[in-house]
Amino acid sequence: MAMSKRLMAEFIGTFWLVLGGCGSAVLAAAFPQVGIGLLGVSLAFGLTVLTMAYAIGHVSGCHLNPAVSFGLWAGGRFKSGDLLPYIVAQTLGAVLGAGVLYVIASGAAGFDLAGGLASNGYADHSPGGYSLVAGFVCELVMTFMFLIIILGATDKRAPAGFAPIAIGLGLTLIHLISIPVTNTSVNPARSTGPAVFVGGWALSQLWLFWIAPILGAIAAGFVYRNFEE
């Protein structure tokens, strides 16, 4: 598949992840009387990955996440030369997704960017007031497990055709665990999109949501190699 087509798929897929996942948190989580809450937001993130895995997985592999690209590289399934183009496409897609969400959300009376636009954070900006260390460990471990799920579900020995379900449900579970800690990133592009529009604290804390997920993903890639024949 031509690189241009793969990058377009990653751009569109990551756009959908941010618009669908963060959009559910900003627009629907606490909507009067019919709010979807933490469970609904968690499911929304899982569904974005599930739907895109079936839609573009055969085009680009449906990474939608720089950490996933690094993890697959560490696991020996992705070329190092493709890392930067994928990461750029994913990040740009995430920024566009956050931009569209901002336009929609700002159409409501009383909208305030101080709400964070579903940005990730720690300490004073953690939903549950969790510390920097707690946030770092959470993001690292959750991304590690996410990559173990991805690498295992897409292993040639695994049942064919079911990987998107396992990966989507895995991401749902990760959100159920970690939304109170960091608002759940496990994806540097997903964190970057909202942070670009929120600025200030969201940008100053963004480093954690690049470093921790990528470290966790790389560790998982090297660990999973031990399970391969």
pLDDT given for residue 160 in this prediction:
85
Q: Where are the domains of the chain?
A: 3-227
Cα–Cα distance measured from residue 103 to residue 197, given in angstroms and rounded to the nearest whole number? 11
How many of the other CB atoms lie within 10 Å of CB of 194?
A: 28
| CB-based burial, 38-70: b 16+ in 10 Å, e otherwise | eeebbbbbbbbbbbbbeebbebbbbbbbbbbbb
Cα–Cα distance measured from residue 208 to residue 138, given in angstroms and rounded to the nearest whole number? 11
Residue 165: which of 179, 175, 176, 154 has the closest Cα? Answer: 154
CATH number of 3-227: 1.20.1080.10
Q: Is 206 in contact with 195 (CB distance < 8 Å)?
A: yes
pLDDT given for residue 111 in this prediction:
87
Q: Is 196 in contact with 120 (CB distance < 8 Å)?
A: no
Q: Is 153 in contact with 162 (CB distance < 8 Å)?
A: yes
pLDDT given for residue 124 in this prediction:
96
pLDDT given for residue 154 in this prediction:
96
Q: Could you report the average pLDDT of every consecutive run of 10 residues in the chain (229 residues)?
A: 96 98 92 80 97 97 98 96 98 98 93 90 97 98 98 93 96 98 98 97 98 98 91
Tokens of 131: 């510390």
DSSP 3-state assignment of 156? coil
